[in-house]
Structure 1
Amino acid sequence: MELTDEIKVQRTTKSKLPEVDFNKLGFGNYVSDHMLICNYAKGQWEAPRIIPFGEITVSPTTLAFHYGQSVFEGLKAFRLEDGRINLFRVQKHYERMLRSLDRMCMPGIPEEIFVDGLRRLIEVDKDWLPAQPGVSLYIRPLMFASEAKYGVKISDEYCFIMFTGPVGPYFSQPLRLKVETEYTRAAKGGTGSAKCAGNYGGAFYPTQKAKEAGYDQVLWTDARENKYIEESGMMNAMFVIDGILVTPPTSDSILAGVTRDSLLTLAADLGIPYEARPISVAEIENAFRHNTITEAFGAGTAAVVAPISTIHLNGIDHHLPAYNDNAIMFRLKNKMEAIRKGQEEDKHGWNFLF
């Protein structure tokens, strides 16, 4: 019998859905009624179960607290016009989570638990995903080392959890970014390509300093020379220079964004020239000097595309021209949204419908 043949469901006795204002969702403010939980011990996964969302009990000696074995993912589901639900690029997100888990010496979650369990969880909380424009269901799978020991070791026990929540747009205004040349997010050979919790915690301090200086996020540069652009906060960075869409190549210090991959694929479909290559800080400065940079934006699951209005380089604020609906970023975003909402053909097989 497969682990997910009969996922036991304990339904909540009181839904929180009436408390949700779907016109003022924000991002991360609401959590749906249920969560999936599955434990790993003695070298094998137990059967997953769905229970009411709530607190879990762990020991203060839980290894994840001390040594950082914690990995998460982020993906979205959408309500189609015919009422069906679409999990967008679920296989790509699953594969990325496996790579992150492998980098952190954590056991891979079986595909049946990740995909089938997620589908069942959304079916239980399907009312949390209306067909309202601009609303999606954000999904957060996470795994942490749950063994209760404090000696330095790779954990032998893990807890896998998935929960969901309705969200609206992540950013409401174009972003002001500061190119970071003192602090680094990740170095060659490190965990930059893994979606592990420590990467985000380590980025908080320089991001906070940037916000205190009047910026929204930092634009990271490479750890060796601070010479090349890497990524922005929780997003991949993209630019339009001389009419070409340019983005840094993925590496062991840059997260391989699923949205990034989707946008580049759609650029090819639309005949938009693009390049995945190193982009130096000097090139960005020169592009501003000669007015050849016309767009800059972040790309990620939460934001999809986040327009950038200002980039601070070497003490100078450089401003991007105003964007209109014909901007490359919006053409790509609209194309992707039409596919995942079932309004255009899904010729790449990205949609998982049920």
Structure 2
Amino acid sequence: MTSTLASPDLRRRLEGIQLPDPLGFGTLMAPVMAIAHYRDGAWEDVRLDALDPLSLAPHTQALHYGQAIFEGMKAYRNLGTDLPGTALLFRPHEHARRFNRSATRLGMPELDEDVYVATLERLVSTLDALVPERQGQSLYLRPTMFGATAHLSVVPSTEYCFVVLATPSDAFFTAPISAWIERRFSRAGPGGTGNVKAAGNYAASFAAAAPLAKLGFQQLLWLDAVHHTHIEEFTAMNVFVRRGDTILTPPLSDTILAGITRDSLLRLAGSLGLSMVEKPVDVAELVDAIASGEDVEVFGCGTGAVVAPVELIGDETGLRLPLPPFPVATRLRRHMLDLQHGVLPAPAGWQRPVPTR
């Protein structure tokens, strides 16, 4: 399985495209995508193609049984002094490995890691004009795989489609957010798919999230499914809590996604003089600490959001607790963006320049 380059016709589709201001998220889809099919037990070559509708039979298995996964990644404009102006991928091999973990969990074929990364490089190189110039903005990449067999049997597909989409975007959150403690619904249960990026994980959050905007909140903060006593993660981010000099994040389990940004922060903590500990966080203790005026920060982190400080926490009991200033979250966000944009040197293998074609 290899990746083929874009044709001159595809490159012409990019001529004259103007980036909107603000970019938003998913507002402008790049007119070129990468696509490959798995048939007869093997992957066909990846090709770059026009972003056109896919032809799917109504009885395509993914539509009925949810055999679908995705990744969220970004290409950043290099704002540093080493190869300035190029595009940078951040930890693409880690995203490839997580994509394959998701595939394995849902009974899907893996993709060769090097082909996965080469596909991203070729797509980003073709779409270089759509990589924004400002820090915090990016060309967001959405690798996706779904079961494509047209059959209603309740078994894994024998055919699959792999697609990579791209959209110039702002970060999910450009200002501090408000979080709603979800005490009724559960995001993921032990032994389920909460630790992979299965498409259905996100659909399961929609009903709980529906009233949030009306209530003045933006993100759900999920609790464990068994006892509803410990925080696990936000809908689209991992969660960190700082109490005094210690920063806590729930340990990974089969109900918590292994976030690439989460892992990056844990690995960087020592060099930044921070103490980060993987430890369960009791929601009642957290609420009491905030209410008592303790020095507490809560923030989320993820590819889309980078680092997002929380300024307000509430729940269905009428709780509305404002949080004090968030100096550590602000510092971590700035540091992560400097790494992702090449302003600061990153650990070996984290910054991957995209060759210009």
TM-score when normalising by structure 1: 0.94
Deviation digits for residues 192-239 of structure 1 (CA, Å, limit 9, x no counterpart): 001011000010000113333332121100000001000111111111
RMSD over aligned Cα atoms: 1.7
Contact conserved, 2:3 with 2:115, CA < 8 A, in 1?
Answer: no
2:192 alignment partner in structure 1:
190
Partner of 1:334: 334
**Once the two structures are aligned, what percentage of the paired residues are identical?**
37
1:8–1:335 CA distance, 2 compared to 1 (3 A): closer
Q: Which runs of 5+ in 2 are unaligned?
A: none
Task: Note the C-alpha offset of 1:63.
Answer: 0.2
In the alignment, what sits opposite 1:347? 347
Deviation (angstroms), 1:111 = 1.7
Give the whole-Å Cα distance in 1 for the aligned partners of 2:268 and 2:333. Answer: 9
Between the aligned partners of 1:130 and 1:191, the Cα distance in structure 2 is 34
Letter matched to residue 217 of structure 1: Q
Aligned match of 1:53 in 42, 51, 74?
51
Q: Secondary structure at the match of 2:55?
A: coil
CA deviations on 1:275-328 (whole Å, 9 max, x unpaired) are 1110011210221133224311110111101121111154311110134xxx11
Secondary structure, counterpart of 1:97 in structure 2: helix
CA separation of 1:271 and 1:17: change in aligned 2, threshold 3 A: farther
Query: What is aligned with 1:11?
Result: 9
1:1-354 alignment, distance < 5 Å: 3-4=1-2, 6-7=4-5, 9=7, 11-12=9-10, 15=13, 18-81=16-79, 82-313=84-315, 314-323=317-326, 327-354=327-354
Whole-angstrom distance in 1 between the partners of 2:259 and 2:161: 25
Contact 1:237 / 1:297 at 8 angstroms: preserved in 2?
yes
The answer to whether the Cα contact below 8 Å between 2:251 and 2:279 also exists between their aligned partners in 1 is: yes
> Distance between the aligned counterparts of 1:293 and 1:104, measured in 2?
42
2-structure distance, mates of 1:137, 1:130: 7
Name the SS of the counterpart of 1:11 in structure 2: helix
Using the TM superposition, give the Cα deviation of residue 150 of structure 1 relative to its aligned residue in structure 2, in angstroms: 1.1
Gap runs ≥5 in structure 1: none
User: Residue deviations 1:106-165, cap 9 Å, x none?
Assistant: 000112331111111111111111433332110000000000001211100000000111
Is the 8 Å Cα contact of residues 178 and 217 (structure 1) preserved in structure 2?
yes
CA distance in 2, matches of 1:337, 1:254: 24
- Displacement, 1:6? 4.5
Letter of the 2:323 partner, please give it: L
Post-superposition offset of 1:22:
4.1
What TM-score do you get using the length of structure 2 for normalisation? 0.93
Aligned-partner Cα distance in 2 for 1:8–1:281: 50
2:77 maps to a residue whose letter is R
Count of residue correspondences: 349
